């Protein structure tokens, strides 16, 4: 039997159908199964794609202010040393450290009371919780006392 030199339109359609209807899906399935490793590239414990996990789910641990101040001074001293090596004027490490540490203090005024906006937001949350408790048939909480308790928990005092 001799091989035909040209294919008819029906034979061409059969070949196209075989490629698109059978071979392409099989190739896609094969690539999906074999190429699944590409989805994990860049992952791992140090990847920036993952949210950092906190064990315990609570607030972050309190940082000792003395340790924080010492670390700030170390970083500023290193910055000042780099500036001096480049021929620039050195930083006043103590003044800059005091400025940065003053900015990092929590939003508590002189009397130890929380910022008014934060207090109002916590109070709104307590009111909403009271409404849910009353719908569930539970005893409502004292709004002001619960607000103070949650603010004390938030600040880490009392």
Confirm whether 47 is domain-assigned.
Answer: no
Q: Is the pTM of this model over 0.85?
A: no
Reduced to 3 states, what is the DSSP secondary structure of residue 46? coil
Model pLDDT for residues 92-122, shown as the tens digit of each residue: 999 999 998 888 765 445 444 457 788 888 8
Confirm whether 7 is domain-assigned.
Answer: no
Are residues 113 and 92 located together in one domain of the fold? no
Confirm whether 133 is domain-assigned.
Answer: yes
Q: How many domains does the chain have?
A: 2
Confirm whether 87 is domain-assigned.
Answer: yes
Looking at per-residue pLDDT, the higher value among 91 and 157 belongs to: 91
Question: Poorest-confidence range of 7-11, 17-21, 61-65?
Answer: 61-65
Q: What is the DSSP letter of 21?
A: I
Q: How many CB atoms lie within 10 A of CB 108?
A: 14
Are residues 114 and 155 located together in one domain of the fold? yes
Are residues 120 and 100 located together in one domain of the fold? no
Confirm whether 13 is domain-assigned.
Answer: no
Confirm whether 80 is domain-assigned.
Answer: yes
Q: Report the alpha-carbon distance of residue 122 to residue 153 in Å, rounded.
A: 12
Residue 17 confidence (pLDDT) above 70: yes
Looking at per-residue pLDDT, the higher value among 36 and 10 belongs to: 10
Determine the structural domain holding residue 81 and report its residue range. Answer: 64-105
What six digits make up the tokens of 129?
A: 């919780």
Model pLDDT for residues 35-83, shown as the tens digit of each residue: 666 666 667 777 766 565 555 555 666 778 888 899 999 999 999 999 9
Confirm whether 21 is domain-assigned.
Answer: no
Are residues 113 and 137 located together in one domain of the fold? yes
Residue 13 confidence (pLDDT) above 70: yes
Are residues 112 and 101 located together in one domain of the fold? no
């Amino acid at each position: 039997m001799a091989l035909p030199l040209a294919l008819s339109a029906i034979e061409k359609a059969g070949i196209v159908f075989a490629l698109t209807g059978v071979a392409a899906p099989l190739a896609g399935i094969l690539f999906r199964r074999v190429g699944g490793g590409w989805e994990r590239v860049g992952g791992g414990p140090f990847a920036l794609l993952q949210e950092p996990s906190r064990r315990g789910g609570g607030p972050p641990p309190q940082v000792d202010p003395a340790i924080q101040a010492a670390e700030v001074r170390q970083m500023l001293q290193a910055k000042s040393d780099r500036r001096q090596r480049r021929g620039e004027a050195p930083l006043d490490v103590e003044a800059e450290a005091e400025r940065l540490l003053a900015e990092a203090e929590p939003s508590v005024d002189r009397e130890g009371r929380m910022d008014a906006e934060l207090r109002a937001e916590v109070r709104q949350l307590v009111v909403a919780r009271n409404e849910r408790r009353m719908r569930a048939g539970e005893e409502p909480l004292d709004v002001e006392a619960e607000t103070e308790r949650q603010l004390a928990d938030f600040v880490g005092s009392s």
